[in-house]
Amino acid sequence: MRTKLRIRMRLVLYRNGEKVLDATKRKKSQIMLELERVSHDKAYIRVDYPGGCNDSEHATDESLKKALSAYTEKSLLDFLLK
């Protein structure tokens, strides 16, 4: 039986320099819903894995979505399970 990798994604959204959302999710789809739901001009994403993490700040939703895809791509997650 294969072990399931548990990752945690933290999304912080800012508007005019003030924090408007600070959410922790386990599913990428939930992060995408929050991006659409909350009006913002800057975002911070952090993806925690067992033994490490990736994080970055973004001014556009497109760059954040690309980073999230890179942080959760299958080959990286498979490597972390080994």
The DSSP bridge pattern shows strands 18-25 and 8-15 to be antiparallel
Grade residue 78 by pLDDT with cuts at 50, 70 and 90.
Answer: confident
Token pair for 74: 């299958």
Count the Cβ atoms, other than its own, within 10 Å of residue 28.
16
Q: What confidence category does residue 2 fall into, taking pLDDT thresholds of 50, 70 and 90?
A: low
Q: Assign residue 77 a region: left if phi > 0, alpha if psi is -120 to 50, beta otherwise?
A: alpha
Q: What is the pLDDT of residues 18-33, one digit of tens each?
A: 999 999 999 999 999 9
Range 21-25 contact pairs with CB under 8 angstroms and sequence separation of 24 or more: none
Task: Convert the pLDDT of each residue in 34-77 to its tens digit.
Answer: 999 999 999 999 999 988 899 999 999 999 999 999 999 989 88
Whether the full predicted model's pTM is greater than 0.75, yes or no, is: yes
